[in-house]
Amino acid sequence: MQTEHSIDDILSPLALTVIIDNKVRDPEMNEFVEQAHGLLDMLGYGDQMNPEKIRAWFQHQEPKLNAAIKGKKKNTVVLKALTRFKDDEAIIEAMYDAMLAISISDKEYHASESDLVKSAASLWGYTRPPFKVIGRK
């Protein structure tokens, strides 16, 4: 069952969660690939995108997404990425769970990641769960 959403539509919010703090860490990248693979499989793209292809997609898109979120239209880029799914509750729930998993995978708090997840929660009608990630000392 493929949706009307493209692979770029599906992967972009997840990639933004990884890059929005300006550091791509191994735990985030690994979680991105895992979450992306699960979402793509759920939406009928599993046969087209294996983990290697998902990593390659990220490497290809990362410079474009970085440039977009560092520009004057950052909020527009984020809003467009998140509002593509407004009418599909199953995708929204899976996307939100995936973004949360990516954001906490490095066990560090980043305000920009938190703001992105809060924006997604607000747009999608979720109350952000009370979680706290304790940084390393």
Which tens digit of pLDDT belongs to each residue from 9-29?
999 999 999 998 877 788 899
| Residue 126, burial from CB neighbour count under 10 angstroms (0-12, 13-18, 19+) | middle
135 in any annotated domain? no
Per-residue pLDDT band for 136 (boundaries 50, 70, 90) equals: very low
Contact yes or no for 111/29 (Cβ under 8 A): no
Does position 111 have pLDDT exceeding 70, yes or no?
Answer: yes
Contact yes or no for 131/103 (Cβ under 8 A): no
Question: How many separate domains does the chain show?
Answer: 1
Predicted pLDDT at 116: 86
130 in any annotated domain? no
Q: Global pTM?
A: 0.84
In one-letter notation, the amino acid at residue 46 is: G
31 in any annotated domain? yes
Boundaries of domain holding 34: 7-124
